[in-house]
Amino acid sequence: SKANNMKNIKVGLILTYNCEQLVQKTIDKIPKDFFDVVISSDDGSTDETITILKNNGIPTYQHKHMGYGGNLYSGMKIAFQDYKADYVYELHGDAQYDFNSAIAADKQFTKENYDLILGNRFYKYNKALENGMPLSIFLGNIFFSFIAGILIGLYFRDLFPGFRAYNKSFFLMIKDKNFSWDYRFSFEIIAISKIEKLKIGNVPTHCDYKGLRKTPPYSYAIKAFINIVITGFFYRLAGAKLRYKYFKNENNKNSK
């Protein structure tokens, strides 16, 4: 690591799960000079993903399969606690996202003190379509972000991106809380950041839908919408001083 005590330590966190066909492309896209260290959190891959990561010299931490949230949290914990990160950048192993968004996010961290930064695929609506986003995913994401934004009072065009960045204050706030460890984690952490008055920003990002990719089934959309409504309900209760689940003030789950 090039990290030292005189600078902010930036860790790129590759999230992987059975993506042997795409992970090399992911690694090749990462702006290596930007990060002090790049590591991988692997969600129990059974293919050659781990081998490819290790062949590229990337420290890889594998755990049992937990889902997106458990994988992200495990990786963040290692990055913030073991690597002493100040900022962690979420890099998905399916190579869809433009990781240069991390450079724009870094400016928001250092100049404007943001705690959580979300990518915005819809900073220009036509860009997402030009990048090959299917119309169903395009309309679904805009609709979900609109509903979610109303529920938690955060009016971003894109509340469900695959590029995000986090600072140490964010991690200390979510540490040990009782989150869902699957896809629901992604919106739960935004909702709790909002209720705890963390500073949330967004940066333009590009996502390539034209090549080989891993896309959730359509049945996922129904579950995701239900989760948005439930999380919004708990958010509103927390706003009325009735805190349940991950909105509770006290730590209520042992550290992973």
- pLDDT, residue 211, reads 75
Helices (H), the chain: 23-29, 49-55, 68-77, 101-112, 125-130, 135-152, 168-174, 185-195, 219-239
Q: What is the pLDDT of residues 196-227, one digit of tens each?
A: 999 999 999 999 998 766 666 677 889 999 99
| Side-chain-side CA neighbours of residue 130 (13 Å) | 8
Q: What Rg value do the Cα atoms of the chain yield, rounded?
A: 17
Which pairing describes strands 164-167 and 200-204: parallel, antiparallel, or unpaired? Answer: unpaired
- pLDDT, residue 1, reads 41
Residues 138 and 153: beta-carbon distance below 8 Å: no
Bridge partners, residue 118, by sequence: 164, 202
Q: What gap in Å lies between CA 183 and CA 52, rounded to an integer?
A: 25
> Could you tell me the two tokens for 179?
């989150």
- 38, with CB counted inside 10 A (0-12, 13-18, 19+), is buried
Residue labelled with tokens 């040990």: 176
> What is the pTM assigned to this prediction?
0.92
- pLDDT, residue 221, reads 86
Percent helix / strand / coil, the chain, rounded to 5: 40, 15, 45
Residue labelled with tokens 């984690």: 185
- pLDDT, residue 245, reads 86
Residues 6+ apart with CB under 8 A from 102: 10, 12, 31, 34, 35, 89, 91, 163, 165
Q: Which residues of the chain have pLDDT under 50?
A: 1-5, 251-256
- pLDDT, residue 256, reads 40
Q: How many residues are recorded in the chain?
A: 256
Residues 6+ apart with CB under 8 A from 41: 13, 14, 15, 16, 61, 63, 71, 72, 74, 75, 78
- pLDDT, residue 220, reads 81
